[in-house]
């Protein structure tokens, strides 16, 4: 059954669509008004979740030809591109990690190494959750970490009582959920909004150098570490204090680790492929660290400009379909089998495609240019102030909406705003993307929040009380970090409007 919000959105979307068609935003280009109507319809259905978001994402395939925006055969290829293959390749490697329990071994090893008192145990769980969320689904990470953490909590409650252990339980649950979100900031494949930014930026500014995995990692990893450590300090030193006599029995973690047994051949292969993939992604292109430069390995190939991160992802994922398993009585002959294709999140692929099609529609109709002209008034606003406003707005908006859909709706608009302000578009687009992954207040904000809430060890008011404070702390961290550090990594000169940003796409 649809909720009242979904029912309202289902009706409101078409109403706004037809109302917009009655206006004439640009007499010289009627197609601009038709594109704006499509944007309103898709935004309303995405925000209210009136129908499945992946189905809303297919609207450009229907409406673009009907309204004279793009041919169907021109729109279709927009849905599949190198960013999609980067996502699919990374996801296949993540499936292999889960199939052979490599992700659990990595998590338990980190917890064994870090763990000690209550604060250190929480830190161990957060490092493990954050690291895994850099590479695999944050939902899968939270689901895997929950039973391990619940076993520790149950043992402590039996020894010290539920009331005594409650502060530790809440801190541990929140630590896992929040680390899953902050860890995703570190890599392009860590969270869907990052990949959406990469492709929308390429579509909007085809003459610009694309965002490479290694370039993003140099910025994203330190930011993820800063955010993670800030959350840990707040959870263990500010919001929750643990009695001195409260001790954690590490035997549970040791038992879980021993139950995994020795590393199998298949697990070792997946481990090698995983770390090789990460290294190939990070060092594919030249890395400029400020104090030194590292030449990318792709320069050694005959056609380095034809290699991208999607190529690396598919090569490494495909290897796993060729390596035979040595484990007896295994249902599949190779480390990854054909059932992997069925496990891929095709709904997210369609959602990505809808966002990319939306961005293309902004360009070819001239809607981006029109928005930029209307936003010229913002040219006098200091960029750092606008970045802070964006971070606040998107952090709280994504408490109630899909961060991927929100990112895909807002990025083409921000590109237009940046052009109107005569500033580098990345100055607005990157912090906005980062902010959409920082929703900490409500269970519905992200799957990890919902998963830990389902443990029964935390109340909504407890999550909201801590989450709103972390939301507010996250805004200045992202704003200042990107303004002073990120601009250096992405070679953004605050006083120079780049040549590639002079025109948005090709109308």
Banded pLDDT at 507 (limits 50, 70, 90): very low
Q: Average pLDDT of 271-277?
A: 94
Burial class (CB in 10 A: 0-12, 13-18, 19+), 359: buried
| pLDDT tens track for 1-50 | 788 989 999 999 999 999 999 988 888 889 999 999 999 999 899 888 89
Q: Does residue 216 register a pLDDT over 80?
A: yes
Q: What is the 3-state secondary structure (H, E, C) of 430-478?
A: HHHHHHHCCCCCCCCCCHHHHHHHCCCCCCHHHHHHHHHHHHHHHHHHH
Q: Does residue 162 register a pLDDT over 70?
A: yes
Banded pLDDT at 243 (limits 50, 70, 90): confident
Banded pLDDT at 457 (limits 50, 70, 90): confident
Give pLDDT, residue 272. Answer: 95
Contact between residue 294 and residue 287 where contact means Cβ atoms under 8 Å apart: yes
Q: How far apart are CA 285 and CA 335, in angstroms?
A: 29
Contact between residue 187 and residue 194 where contact means Cβ atoms under 8 Å apart: yes
Q: Does residue 131 register a pLDDT over 50?
A: yes
Q: Does residue 430 register a pLDDT over 90?
A: yes
Q: Average pLDDT of 414-419?
A: 88
Q: Does residue 506 register a pLDDT over 70?
A: no
Q: How far apart are CA 471 and CA 449, in angstroms?
A: 14
DSSP state of 212: P
User: How high is the mean pLDDT of the chain?
Assistant: 89
Give pLDDT, residue 222. Answer: 96
| pLDDT tens track for 288-344 | 766 677 888 988 999 988 998 999 999 999 999 999 998 877 878 899 998 999 998
């Amino acid at each position: 059954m649809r909720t009242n919000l979904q029912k309202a959105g289902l009706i409101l979307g078409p109403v706004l669509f037809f109302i917009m068609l009655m206006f004439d935003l640009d007499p010289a280009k009627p197609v601009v008004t038709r594109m704006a109507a499509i944007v309103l319809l898709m935004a309303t259905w995405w925000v209210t979740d009136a129908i499945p978001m992946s189905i809303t994402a297919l609207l450009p395939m229907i409406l673009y030809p009907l309204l004279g925006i793009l041919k169907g055969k021109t729109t279709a290829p927009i849905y599949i591109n190198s960013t999609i293959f980067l996502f699919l390749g990374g996801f296949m490697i993540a499936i292999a990690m889960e199939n052979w329990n490599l992700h659990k071994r990595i998590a338990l090893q980190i917890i064994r190494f870090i763990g000690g008192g209550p604060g250190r145990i929480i830190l161990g769980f957060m490092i493990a959750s954050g690291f895994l969320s850099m590479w695999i689904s944050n939902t899968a990470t939270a689901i895997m970490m929950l039973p391990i953490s619940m076993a520790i909590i149950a043992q402590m409650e039996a020894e010290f009582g539920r009331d005594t252990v409650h502060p530790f339980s809440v801190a541990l649950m929140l630590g896992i959920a929040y680390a899953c979100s902050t860890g995703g900031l570190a890599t392009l494949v860590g969270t869907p909004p990052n990949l959406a930014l990469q492709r929308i930026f390429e579509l909007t500014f085809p003459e610009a150098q694309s965002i490479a995995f290694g370039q993003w990692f140099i910025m994203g990893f330190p930011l993820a570490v800063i955010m993670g450590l800030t959350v840990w300090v707040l959870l263990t030193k500010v919001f929750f204090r643990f009695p001195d006599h409260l001790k954690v029995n590490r035997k549970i973690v040791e038992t879980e680790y021993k139950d995994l047994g020795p590393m199998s051949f298949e697990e070792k292969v997946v481990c090698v492929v995983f770390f090789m993939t990460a290294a190939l992604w990070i060092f594919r292109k030249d890395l400029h660290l400020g104090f030194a430069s590292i030449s990318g390995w792709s320069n050694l190939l005959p056609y380095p400009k034809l290699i991208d991160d999607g190529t690396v992802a598919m090569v490494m994922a495909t290897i796993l379909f060729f390596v035979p398993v040595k484990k007896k009585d295994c249902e599949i002959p190779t480390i990854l089998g054909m059932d992997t294709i069925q496990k891929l999140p095709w709904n997210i692929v369609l959602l990505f495609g809808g966002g990319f099609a939306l961005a293309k529609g902004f360009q070819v109709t001239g809607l981006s240019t029109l928005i930029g002209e209307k936003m010229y008034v913002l040219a006098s606003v200091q960029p750092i102030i606008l970045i802070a406003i964006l971070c606040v707005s998107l952090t709280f908006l994504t408490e109630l909406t899909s961060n991927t859909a929100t990112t895909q709706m807002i990025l083409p608009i921000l590109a237009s705003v940046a052009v109107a302000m005569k500033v580098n578009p990345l100055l607005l687009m990157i912090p906005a993307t980062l902010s959409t992954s920082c929703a900490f207040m409500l269970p519905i904000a992200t799957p990890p929040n919902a998963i830990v809430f389902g443990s029964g060890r935390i109340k909504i008011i407890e999550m909201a009380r801590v989450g709103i404070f972390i939301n507010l702390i996250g805004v200045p961290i992202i704003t200042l970090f990107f303004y002073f550090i990120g601009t250096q990594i992405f070679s953004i000169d605050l006083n120079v409007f780049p040549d590639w940003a002079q025109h948005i796409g090709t109308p």
